[in-house]
Amino acid sequence: MSNDSNPVQFELMPGGHLNGQLRVAGDKSISHRAIMLSAIAEGESNITGFLEGEDTLATLAAFRTMGVNISDPKDGKVTVQGVGMHGLQAPDTALDLGNSGTSMRLLSGLLAGQDFAVTLTGDKSLSTRPMRRVTDPLALMGATIDSTEKGTPPLCIQTGSQLNSIAYTLPMASAQVKSCVLLAGLYAKGETCVTEPAPTRDHTERMLQGFGYQVQREGSRVCLQGGGRLSGMDIDVPADISSATFFMVGAAIASGSDVSLEHVGINPTRTGVIEILRLMGADISLHNEREVGGEPVADIQVRASQLRGIQIPEAQVPLAIDEFPAIFIAAACAEGETVLTGAEELRVKESDRIAVMADGLTVLGIDCQVTDDGIIIQGGQLQGGTVNSHGDHRIAMSFAMAALRAKAPIKILDCANVATSFPDFVTLAKTAGLGIQIS
């Protein structure tokens, strides 16, 4: 599963533009949740549009190891034979979740209430990521979970006793922590509530309701009663707005571009990138807006335009949390200064996305200043050079798009993890007009 020892580099020719109608990879967040909830539902669930990326395949493999019958994904179609809330079986090995923070944080909640012990492990990057944010609330619910002294994986979840419900206020805006507590709450006695400091993606709440499980939302508080059941259903996973973002930014910055991204999820808790790019002057239009299985979807058209630097509104930060590496590339191509604040969470993603992006932008000749909770980027002329993605998929894909406006070739190191979220990225990017090769 791990890509720790698998060097892949991207080589980019400078210039060009993007055109065409593209369907990017399936939504990663929704694909994870589709497997998890189908597995503990009663009856069969049929998933279409499933992301066949390494992260979501890690979740799928984990449930197979716990005895769930799941078909081999083919063209985004997967069938899950749900085992019911109490039908998971003790795995005979640790569950290796690769690079996937979502798998580890959501599974820790879902598994805390099972009557078996289980260990969750991951690759080099996941093994450095903070897990106290999930083990702390789960301990309050009565779970016993061991981690390293630093609060990092592996997580050893002890055989659960009956969990207690809690009313928990999230210390940070995190959909993974919210989802972890809600999934544990399914197995707790009484009502579990989570209050969030700012809106975060709500796919867990929406999908639970789709599976027939009641979830109440009042303002920033979400509550559910433990002890209910889920009924299998059909799930149509939209294309991932986080994957669409690379093409949105590429089209916005490269003169002559006009791309249409089809069937993209535009859940309002995910559309910060559209707001931010529009504030920067991007030409983005939504077509054919519709709702598919409880999630809003649209075709997104982006045409090139001159961007300008902005102060990014802090309220948009959690709504665009995965899109900042690409937004930084847009800022580098904008006229004037872009200022990001309130984004300290970027430091604990698959890499420290503020530091790693700043290093790469500097190599490419862009003036930027790192701050505690963000970055200040001066728009300028991108040069060529070699940048290191540090195994972070979103950083690799963002710098690939930077080549559209660079003066000379760009080489990007450590790109294997692009396969975690967007296995067809290179093929699709080439089709759209990006001069990209793998070496």
Comparing CB distances to ligand S3P, the nearer of 277 and 321 is: 321
The least CB distance from residue 176 to ligand S3P, in Å, is: 3
Nearer to ligand S3P, 101 or 142 (CB): 101
CB 36 within 8 A of CB 106: yes
Note the residues at the interface with ligand S3P (CB under 6 A): 29, 102, 174-176, 179, 201, 321-322, 345
Angstrom CA distances, 33 to 57, 377, 414, stand at 12, 35, 28
Shortest Cβ distance from residue 201 to ligand S3P (Å)? Answer: 6
Report in angstroms how near the CB of residue 406 gets to ligand S3P at its nearest.
27
Nearer to ligand S3P, 127 or 144 (CB): 127
Provide the minimum distance between the beta carbon of 186 and ligand S3P in the complex, in angstroms, as a whole number. Answer: 16
Residue 299 or 422 with smaller CB distance to ligand S3P:
422
CB of 187 to ligand S3P, least distance (A): 19
Nearer to ligand S3P, 295 or 322 (CB): 322
322 carries an active-site annotation? yes
Provide the minimum distance between the beta carbon of 393 and ligand S3P in the complex, in angstroms, as a whole number: 10
How far is the C-alpha of 397 from the C-alpha of 247, rounded, in Å?
Answer: 10
Cβ closest to ligand S3P, residue 174 vs residue 351: 174
Per-residue three-class SS string for the chain: CCCCCCCCCEEECCCCCCEEEECCCECHHHHHHHHHHHHCCEEEEEEECCCCCHHHHHHHHHHHHCCCEECCCECCEEEEEEECCCCCCCCCCCEECCCCHHHHHHHHHHHHCCCCCEEEECCCCHHHCCCHHHHHHHHHCCCCEECCCCCCCCEEECCCCCEECCEEECCCCCHHHHHHHHHHHCCEECEEEEECCCCCCCHHHHHHHHCCCCCEEECCEEEEECCCCCECCEEECCECHHHHHHHHHHHHHCCCCEEEEEEEECCCCCCHHHHHHHHCCCEEEEEEEEEECCEEEEEEEEECCCCECCECCHHHCHHHCCCHHHHHHHHHCCECEEEECCCHHHHHCCCCHHHHHHHHHHHCCCCEEEECCEEEEECCCCCCEEEECCCCHHHHHHHHHHHHHCCCCEEEECCCCHHHHCCCHHHHHHHHCCCEEEC
Q: Return the number of the residue (197 or 336) whose C-beta is nearest ligand S3P.
A: 197
**Looking at 322, 367, 372, 424, which residue is catalytic?**
322
Cα separation, 200 vs 220, in Å, equals: 10
Identify which of residues 28 and 405 has a Cβ nearer to ligand S3P in the complex.
28
Distance of closest approach, residue 115 Cβ to ligand S3P, in angstroms: 26
Least Å distance, CB 137 to ligand S3P, is 13
**C-alpha distances in angstroms, 377 versus 97, 171, 195, 292, 339?**
34, 28, 33, 38, 7
The residue behind tokens 């989570």 is 194
Catalytic residues: 322
